[in-house]
Amino acid sequence: MTRVLRAAIFDVDGVLVDSPHERAWREALAGFADPAGLTTAFYQSHVAGKPRQEGAWAVLEHLGGAGATAHAAAYAERKQALIDQLIAEGRFVAFPDAIRLAVAMKQAGLRLALASSSKNADAMLARVNLPDGGTLLSLFDADLSGRDVPRGKPDPTLFLLAADAVGVPPDQCVVVEDAPAGIEAAHAGGMASLGVARLDDAALLRAAGADLVVTSLDQLDLAALGSGLLRASAVSESIHV
């Protein structure tokens, strides 16, 4: 079956911006565990897309040994101080393909929402200027980033709140994510999911249940999206959602 897609819900870190979150998690780890053990693969599988405390606990449980998780709060606090500093210094960039996709979706009449677990998303997007004089943050109709929810991704609550905020039923929303936990959350919420594999992690996103995985958001066939079809324009394979 096909369905009308009337809204797009975007994650931020790794989707809209190349954020310094992974760097901050790694640098903050010194003194708690060996920072070299925090690989990109582990970060994507167990930290990306999750609330700060859950991410800290996951890292220390994996790398810190017995009793290390007792320091999760201190680790998370140190990471937050580092990310605040990196953002203030402008140590991040927006992905041009993501900006092009968001602008094109907005022009096509889709409602746009932000739904990142990060409480730093607004600070980054407000610093990204668009050619029309607005900011990347101002492009979105609703912003749920950093909203406290009982459970983070892969629980779908944050995405469901985003769908409600833009007044679109979940089954008419597509979620744009780079993390397996976010793809799982979209699936749990009854939404279509588009995975962007920027870190050679397409297999992880497919395993999480992504309806379509691309390596660049420029590959999405926007004309087909209006017909409820997720399709990469550069390939023949497509998936009805």
Residue numbers annotated as active site: 11, 13
CA 53 to chain centre: 17
Measure the CA angle with vertex 226, ends 98 and 121; round to 5°. 30
Place of tokens 């050619």: 131
CA distance 115 to 146: 8
- Within 8 A by CB and 6+ apart from 39, the residues are none
Instruction: Find out whether 159 and 169 touch, Cβ atoms under 8 Å.
Output: no
Residue type, 60: L
DSSP string, 11-35: --BTTTEE-SHHHHHHHHTTTTS-G
Instruction: Find out whether 138 and 34 touch, Cβ atoms under 8 Å.
Output: no
Residues 211, 192, 105, 129: is their CA dihedral positive or negative? negative
Instruction: Find out whether 97 and 216 touch, Cβ atoms under 8 Å.
Output: yes
